[in-house]
Amino acid sequence: MNNIPNEGKVDFSKPILWIVIPCYNEKDVLPITAPMFLEQIQTMISKEKISAKSRILFVNDGSKDSTWDIICKLAQEDEHYIGISQSRNRGHQNAVLAGLMEAKDVCDITISIDCDGQDDITAMERMVDEYLAGAEVVYGVRSKRDTDTFFKRFTAESFYKLLDKMGVETVYNHADYRLISTRVLQEFAGFHEVNIFLRGMIPLVGYKNATVYYERHERIAGESHYPLSKMLALAFDGITSLSVRPISIITGAGCVVSLIGFVGIIWAIITAILGNAVPGWASIVCIVCFLGGIQLLSLGVIGEYIGKIYLESKHRPRYIISDKTWEPYERHYKG
């Protein structure tokens, strides 16, 4: 196993970069992409853009396959590879957060990226250039979606538009491929939400930012761990964690329905006085079903917010690190 990274003499003239890579059941793709990450980091070191103390941090998110064994083997083969393992699967966002928080005290910049090889790894160099030019956050943004199916492209673009309409500040067509300086991470550490949506939380920190555009490729190997159901869940988490607009929409809908109901009452009274009332169950059933549906939907949305308040009030740790490649016997707990 490696020693603790970055100990010894450090060249402060070049930033120390940690590439944070969440991994969940990636035994098929990791042996292919790991050398690609290493080649990229060595290229930037040779160009003297980053320090030789830079590292590639794999975050094992409670994988059920041999992902952690592969990470440990990589760490033995080259000092630039390091890894941490969570005590159980906690989801992509928590895995990225764990890596960022682990890195913030020992490096100058981090770049988070998925390990499937879809994001253009060479864009990292342009991200570092933007940082050296003064940007504290650099967002990796897809320039086009030609490799996506129509359904995937439609749902993904609708995802960002929906977030924008709901008042969540995000960067269009940006996922979790980004550079963040330690300065920003130190401030971000003050965000203690349990319900995490990094795409909407990082912009809240502020500081100077820049954008790097790149083309996204097909997944190199393995299967995607983000089907439509998870994308919808992520969108819902992002909206309810960072926006109260759905409650405002419910309030507005309630006012409209109440107004319609008030007009209906007046109409019913006038009809009864004129003696034109015709008994009918259809209209009553329609009104009852409509109002009942609105009420149940409203209660459901409000219930989601109450549920998130309940989870936040517990202050449970967002991740627990059970193992590190450079400190194999340490059990490190973080909240």
> Where is average pLDDT lowest: 7-11, 72-76, 250-254, 291-295?
7-11
Q: Cα torsion at 172, 102, 20, 197 (round to 10°)?
A: -20
Among 139, 132, 137, 59, which Cα is nearest to 100's?
A: 59
Distance CA 218, CA 330 (A): 38
Average pLDDT (43-66) is 89
Average pLDDT (156-181) is 73
pLDDT at 284: 67
Edge-to-edge order in the sheet of strand 209-214: 209-214, 137-142, 174-181, 109-112, 17-23, 55-60, 81-86, 319-324, 332-334
The length of the chain is: 335
The token duo for 267 is 């109409």
Task: Break the chain into its structural domains and give their ranges.
Answer: 17-225+317-334, 245-314
Q: Which CATH architecture has domain 17-225+317-334?
A: Alpha-Beta Complex (3.90)
pLDDT at 14: 86
pLDDT digits (tens, 9 = 90+) for 212-232: 888 877 655 555 555 556 666
pLDDT digits (tens, 9 = 90+) for 55-66: 999 999 888 888
pLDDT at 202: 83
Higher-scoring residue by pLDDT: 116, 15: 15
pLDDT at 280: 59
pLDDT at 332: 38
pLDDT at 58: 93
Contact assessment for residue 212 and residue 126, using Cβ atoms and an 8 Å cutoff: yes
Distance CA 35, CA 262 (A): 68
Distance CA 112, CA 115 (A): 10
Of the segments 130-139, 184-193, 236-245, which one has the largest average pLDDT value?
A: 130-139
Task: Classify residue 223 as left (phi > 0), alpha (psi -120 to 50) or beta.
Answer: beta
pLDDT at 173: 72
- Please name the residue that has the structure tokens 């609105």: 294
Average pLDDT (20-30) is 89
Query: Cα dist. 312→61, 147, 191, 241, 306 in Å?
Result: 22, 38, 12, 10, 10
The alpha carbon of residue 255 and the mean position of all alpha carbons in its chain are separated, in whole angstroms, by 35
pLDDT at 335: 43
Average pLDDT (103-113) is 89
